[in-house]
Structure 1
Amino acid sequence: MSKPDETTSSSDDQMREILETLLAEDENITARAIARLHPSIKAASSITRSESRSRLLAQYQLRQAEYRQWRARVARRSGADTAASLADKDVRIAELESIVQLLTASHLAMLRAVGELGGVNKWAKFYEHHREIRDRLADFDAMPAAPVSAIPPEESGKKIKR
């Protein structure tokens, strides 16, 4: 017999697949619908009583409601209006992606500059209380990959000639 965690994980993966299918086919996402299609879950209460399954069900129900709302808006608009709106949104997405790239590069440069000036300890102390922010920055590749070293003392006193 497998461990309960493995069974739950496998069952939740199957549930996620069923939810994706229901969403793609635009069938009502309910605990009963999942129980009907799931190979090992036979009762809707097995979904609603489990906190993680109930949360997953709620997330997909919300996605379905948003999808249906979006689809209803598109149905009321002409094809040309919808195409123009999508083109505008594509342009906006491209702008936002370039802004994120710029901010990420700027953030990395700032962290490297702080590190070179010997402020790594202050920087680390700030982020120790904001672990979730630090983790999200790492997800965006906005954290230096290599350790930052301080400027050697003999170089820090030199003046730049102009």
Structure 2
Amino acid sequence: MTEPDETIPSSDDDQMREILETLLADDEDITARAVARSHPTIKAASSITRSESRSRLIAQYQQRQADYRRWRVRVAKRSGTDTAASLADKDIRIAELEATVQLLTASHLAMLRAVGELGGFSRWAKFYESHRDARDKLAELGAIPAAPVSAMPVERDGKKIKR
């Protein structure tokens, strides 16, 4: 018997994600059994635990729940004013970091275009061959030009010269 392709998200997994979100929001313990009880088509916890992708998803949500519960305890020990001030500071910091990422992405993209115009994009790409994770992250951020870059003609003594 063949195993289903776990890389393709199924409607069961989408429903499972919704159930996990509900369990997280209601602060109910996240377990394979709790998901199976709420799921319309998955009836046994083993159907979840045998699937690597589903087990990974459960583990991610269990980690999120542990983080939420840890934060809730910390917040309970602080005054409402302290908590509000801390959240406001964190919102400001997040906004600053997002602006920094946008600036770095734009400058990186401009740098790549300049390198491409000078004919060096292939060398840049060759450098990042051994750093695939970094290159993939840059692509995810939109910091790599989507269109091919061609060298600009250079003018010498009023004549255009191709490189």
Length-normalised TM-score, structure 1? 0.86
Shift of 1:120: 1.5
Quick one: which amino acid aligns to residue 88 of structure 1? D
2:20 match: 19
Shift of 1:117: 1.4
Deviations 1:62-95 (A, max 9, x none): 0000011111111111000001101110111111
Shift of 1:36: 0.9
Shift of 1:34: 0.8
Q: Distance in 2 between matches of 1:155 and 1:122?
A: 25
CA shift in 2, pair 1:144/1:125, >3 Å: same
Shift of 1:97: 1.1
User: SS where residue 119 of structure 2 aligns?
Assistant: coil
1:57 match: 58
Shift of 1:19: 0.6
Shift of 1:157: 9.2
2:29 match: 28
User: SS where residue 155 of structure 2 aligns?
Assistant: helix
1:95 match: 96
CA shift in 2, pair 1:151/1:79, >3 Å: same
Length-normalised TM-score, structure 2? 0.85
1:71 match: 72
Shift of 1:8: 7.3
More helix by share: 1
Q: Distance in 1 between matches of 2:113 and 2:17?
A: 41
2:143 match: 142
Shift of 1:122: 0.5
Q: How many aligned residue pairs are there? A: 155
Unaligned runs of 5+ in 1: none
2:113 match: 112
CA shift in 2, pair 1:18/1:129, >3 Å: same
- The correspondence of residues 31-42 of structure 1 with structure 2, limited to 5 A, is 31-42=32-43
Shift of 1:132: 3.0
CA shift in 2, pair 1:57/1:107, >3 Å: same
Deviations 1:120-149 (A, max 9, x none): 220121223333322221221111233222
